[in-house]
Chains A and B, each alone.
Chain A
Amino acid sequence: MGLLLEIVDLEKRFELHILNEKEIDALHQVSFNVNEGEVLALTGNSGSGKSTLMKCIYRTYLATSGRMIYRDGQGAVIDLASATEHEVLRIRRTEMTYCSQFLQVIPRVPAIDVVASGLVARGRTIEEARRATSVCFERLSLPAELWDAYPSVFSGGEQQRVNIARAMISRPRFLLVDEPTASLDITTKDAVIDMLLELKQAGTSIILISHDEHTLRRMSDRSLHLENGRLKEAVVYA
């Protein structure tokens, strides 16, 4: 198994200029590797820095210092901490997707198109993309009458399914998922886990944030525990 991502001494500090230069230390000297094809779980209490770490990798947050060496599908090596915005956009468009904890979507776009647009951006026709999305929604038991409605009016669990579908639909090479099963019942939870595991079988590397024992037990190959922004010892499930 090759190395996908190598994180070295990652630090994240928020400097709040409008609050008298208040500083919030979020991540300290975080170093770890992600192997190709594995599910790496991040665990830890709320506020321990899991989502911050994930957002740093996706570049929604800018790392204060450190390196995040990523090997892309063509074998090129880029440091996600210092890559240009165009390089990050390219990686996001071609191989890295992120499922945030809460769905954030462009208003007035029907659920089916929120998800289908991920495939259209990768060169599929809108019809093909909607067909693939329908299959995905069916597996996630999202009621068909919601497909052409706007997700902003959905329940938490419905939104979360749209969110996870959007991240999975393009079968990314590298997937970041933040609490994918948090607001779901056990059957739907298992459907999500099955689909994520299928991606993994097909070669997708996954970083998973979860508090849910069931999800962790079924999915993770390895886990890292965060405490106040620092990494603690790893636990191996299986």
Chain B
Amino acid sequence: MNNNWLLRVRNLTKIYGEATPGVLERTGPKFDTNICSKTGAVVAVNNISFDLYPGEVLGVVGESGSGKSTLVQMLYFDQEVTAGEVNFKPVEEGNVNLFELSNQKKRYIRNHLMGMVYQNPRDGLNFRFTSGGNIAEKLLMANVFHVGKIRIRGADLLTKTEVPIQRMDESPARFSGGMQQRVQIAKAIANKPPLLLLDEVTSGLDVSVQAKVLDLIRGLQQDLGVSMIVVSHDLGVIRMLTDRTMVLKHGQIVEQGLTDQILQDPQHGYTQLLVSSLL
């Protein structure tokens, strides 16, 4: 039953600067810093391990600089890893470390098997293309070449994410923040990936728009049964979307548990502070 995971992450580490021996031991919440006292290297992600199950939604919470975005960016190959292994069931039955694969194979995984939604829509969308074009780009990368089919699928996805299809041929640059985020979500799910990574997707949106985006994500998760990693500093978002939560501080997991337990019976001082800071 322990073999039931979709994604298995082991000892994932990211160091900016020199990876000298002992650097991981000299940083973290115990030292209240992620900067190595000897070399000045910054440990963004420090030895993180977890399993994600099919259909599961995992929350990653922590303040700015805790390493949560770096974590998902490494999973999406946006950033090089310093050390660690990731196995992913759809790739060779999970028997291979994704970071050892060729760039071509990594690109395949990004385009076919994962979707990413960034905090800033400019990171996930190309503003020189139309919104339909952005989705087409993702479909093309996954080898869908029939123009008519791309068009229909694009309209379909935009309808699902409640972007008016009359505006399909406009650049997302002319859209509101909430609508840009919905185009990004449409693009991320275009190839029906089994894994969706969401990095602070509602930060910076006003509350009513935030609510709509969250409802959309929740609905998609239920309809598609996709596994998700939801990164947020907002415990409200975590409460609404996730089953399980990891709390990160200075690159390390300080606490993990069922989301209701993290919110109602936080064990670590830092989590208690986060929960008590909830409005």
Contacts and interface: CB of A to CB of B under 8 A. Distances in A.
Contacts of B211: 107-108
Interface stretch (A10-18, A165-173, A206-214, A217-225): A10-18
A61 B273 CA distance: 17
Given A62-B261, A86-B51, A108-B215, 8 more contacts: A17-B273, A59-B261, A60-B258, A85-B256, A88-B258, A89-B56, A107-B240, A108-B211
A106 interface: yes
B112 to A, nearest CB: 26
Given A85-B244, A106-B218, A17 B258 contact: no
24 contacts: A17-B269, A17-B273, A18-B269, A18-B273, A18-B276, A55-B265, A59-B258, A60-B258, A60-B261, A60-B264, A61-B261, A62-B257, A62-B261, A62-B265, A85-B257, A85-B258, A86-B4, A86-B51, A89-B56, A89-B258, A106-B218, A106-B240, A117-B222, A120-B222
Given A85-B244, A89-B258, A17 B272 contact: yes
B174 interface: no
Nearest to B271: A17
Contacts of B272: 16-18
Among A14, A18, A117, the most chain B Cβ lie within 10 Å of the Cβ of A18
Interface string B248-279: 00000000111011001101110011001000
Interface in A127-180: none
Among B256, B264, B268, the most chain A Cβ lie within 10 Å of the Cβ of B264
A19 B279 CA distance: 18
Interface residues of B, number: 24
Interface residues on A, range: 10 to 19
Given A86-B53, A108-B215, A17 B261 contact: no
B78 interface: no
B123 interface: no
A64 to B, nearest CB: 10
Interface string B218-229: 100010000000
Interface string A91-129: 000000000000000111000000001001000000000
Contacts of A107: 211, 240
Contact of A61 (B4, B51, B265, B268): B265
Contacts of A85: 244, 256-258
Nearest to A117: B222
Contacts of B265: 14, 55, 60-62
Interface string B7-25: 0000000000000000000
B243 interface: yes
A89 B53 CA distance: 11
Among A17, A59, A85, A120, the most chain B Cβ lie within 10 Å of the Cβ of A85
A207 to B, nearest CB: 18
Interface string B51-80: 101001000000000000000000000000
B231 to A, nearest CB: 18
A60 B260 contact: yes
Contacts of A17: 268-269, 272-273
A151 B276 CA distance: 25
Nearest to B257: A85
A82 to B, nearest CB: 12
B244 A89 contact: yes
Nearest 10 A/B pairs, CB to CB? A17-B269, A61-B265, A60-B260, A18-B272, A60-B264, A85-B258, A85-B244, A18-B273, A17-B272, A60-B261
